[in-house]
């Protein structure tokens, strides 16, 4: 089984709908992240969480919210989806034990299309 899972893998929705993307991990990591990837723009950080009680905004948090339900679960919500939120969304985790060696482990991604 994959260490970092995302559901759903694909989603098509309409403008104005509320959408939740879910991420679960079995790596036992404290740190979790949400990114979006757009052609020509690379990966950009939306939100990150260093533990259950710690949530931080990333580079592009407007229009998104998150919930860290447990160490293993981190959800991303789009309260009212708009077409420019069409993108590939990735969840990632890291141990966070030492900054110089902290690598991130990525889920398979969720392809979201907002019509």
Partner 1 sequence: KQEVTQIPAALSVPEGENLVLNCSFTDSAIYNLQWFRQDPGKGLTSLLLIQSSQREQTSGRLNASLDKSSGRSTLYIAASQPGDSATYLCAVESYQLTFGKGTKLSVIP
Beta sheet of 4-7, edge-to-edge order: 4-7, 19-25, 73-78, 64-70
**Selection from 40, 22, 28 nearest residue 107 by Cα:** 22
Give yes or no for residue 112 binding partner 1 (CB under 8 A). Answer: no
Of 40, 53, 70, 84, the one binding partner 1 (CB under 8 A) is: 40
Here the tokens at position 9 are: 């893998």
- Minimum distance from CB of 97 to partner 1 (Å)? 12
- Minimum distance from CB of 43 to partner 1 (Å)? 4
| Contacts of residue 71, Cβ cutoff 8 Å, sequence gap at least 6 | 28, 29, 30, 51, 52
Of 1, 42, 53, 84, the one binding partner 1 (CB under 8 A) is: 42
- Minimum distance from CB of 79 to partner 1 (Å)? 24
The number of helix segments (H) and strand segments (E) in the chain equals: 0, 11
Give yes or no for residue 43 binding partner 1 (CB under 8 A). Answer: yes
Question: Given the rule CB under 8 A, which residues bind partner 1?
Answer: 4, 33, 40-45, 48, 58-59, 90, 92, 99-109, 111
């Amino acid at each position: 089984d994959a260490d970092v899972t995302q559901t759903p893998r694909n989603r098509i929705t309409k403008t104005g709908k509320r959408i939740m993307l879910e991420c679960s991990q079995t790596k036992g990591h404290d740190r979790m992240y949400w990114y979006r990837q757009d052609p020509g723009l690379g990966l950009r950080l939306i939100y990150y969480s260093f533990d259950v009680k710690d949530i931080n905004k990333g580079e592009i948090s407007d229009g998104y919210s998150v919930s860290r339900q447990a160490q293993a679960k981190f959800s991303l919500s789009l309260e009212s989806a708009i077409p420019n939120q069409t993108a590939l969304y990735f969840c990632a985790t890291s141990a966070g034990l030492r900054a110089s060696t902290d690598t991130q482990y990525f889920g398979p991604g969720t392809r979201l299309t907002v019509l």
